[in-house]
A and B are shown apart, each in its own frame.
Chain A
Amino acid sequence: MLNGIMGRKIGMTQIFEADGTAVPVTVVQVGPVTVVQKKTEEQEGYNSVQVGYEEIPDRKTNKPMKGHLKSQKAVRILKEFKVDDIAQVELGQVFDYSMFEEGETIAITGVSKGKGFSGTIKRHNFGGQPASHGHRGHRRTGSIGQCATPARVFKGKKMPGQYGNKNVTVLGLKVSKIIPEQNLLLIRGAVPGKNGGVVTLKKSGR
């Protein structure tokens, strides 16, 4: 069994649970993924499995990729996952949503929505300055340090800059419902990234 799988975020909506509570859920289409390469202790120095997600036409792959995939079908994305027992995994083996069950807690990684070059209010939740009574620079950063001592700005000072468009992992997400026919998982709460973005679901949700 792999410790994770890939999928695509479809969107957010609301469902009713068995007791009638309305919960916000994110719809994620999960897998299936195919085992492309087995990495073993003897050869690579560690045990893991490389899987491919989303088949694409053969003509869309380049020669190095074809050589790597050997006789396997062409895939869009390759990713490595850990396994409990490498001996049980075989090349070409398929994993899908069935590794998760309803009510399970999982972790999801995705690329967050890019917000561009953002100020400190949006990026670091600064308070900003008063709107009126003679104040100027309402959304400005404000002071970034002291005076002659230490006569420098501390490293890691929260300042404006690129916000979003980076890997974000959310732990403790609950699988609310599974729809097997379309490989859909309904995850309670929000998942990083835009609709249609690739996400990685991991079993260790803590």
Chain B
Amino acid sequence: MGSLMELVENSQLREDIPEFRPGSSVRVNYRIIEGEKERIQAFEGVVIRKHLGDRNNKASFTVRKVTQGHGVERIFPLHSPRIESIKVLKVGVVRRAKLYYLRQRRGKAARIAEKITYRPKS
């Protein structure tokens, strides 16, 4: 019986979602349907939370950005077909899984150090 649930749930998973973690900066290209027309809207910000892991059809993540002094947070279902693509812009160095402390910070204090990975010249 468990395997039947897995069968249904796994059929909902998307394989083209890139790997990213809380602290990463991402651009989510999200399909918006306005009446008949469909267009793509980008939402760019820091991932402050991932919910239920990567391989779960109910998984979601929250992206936070600050627009004109107002913090804006958006929750996306990770495997939603409405997500056109996710682009990972930066990988940050953070020490916790939920970055709720960013909500209390403004400007310079809300920065996240970028993770520098050594890439040998090929």
Contacts and interface: CB of A to CB of B under 8 A. Distances in A.
Interface of A: 10-11, 13-16, 19-20, 22, 27, 29, 179, 182, 184, 186, 195-196
A29 B4 contact: yes
Instruction: Indicate the size class of the contact surface on chain B.
Output: 10 to 19
A195 B2 CA distance: 10
Contact of B1 (A10, A14, A15, A22): A10
Contacts of A11: 1, 5
Contacts of B49: none
A182 B81 contact: no
B4 A13 contact: no
11 contacts: A10-B1, A10-B4, A13-B58, A14-B58, A15-B12, A16-B12, A16-B79, A19-B33, A182-B4, A184-B4, A196-B1
Contacts, number: 41
Nearest to B33: A19
A20 B1 contact: no
A196 B77 CA distance: 28
B12 A27 contact: no
B114 interface: no
A55 B25 CA distance: 55
B62 interface: no
A14 B10 CA distance: 11
A39 B17 CA distance: 56
B80 A27 contact: no
Given A11-B5, A22-B80, 11 more contacts: A11-B1, A13-B9, A13-B58, A14-B58, A16-B12, A16-B80, A22-B77, A27-B8, A182-B4, A184-B4, A196-B1
Interface string B26-57: 00000101000000000000000000000001
B82 A186 contact: no
Contact of A10 (B5, B33, B58): B5
A8 B9 CA distance: 18
A117 B84 CA distance: 51
Contacts of A15: 8, 12, 57
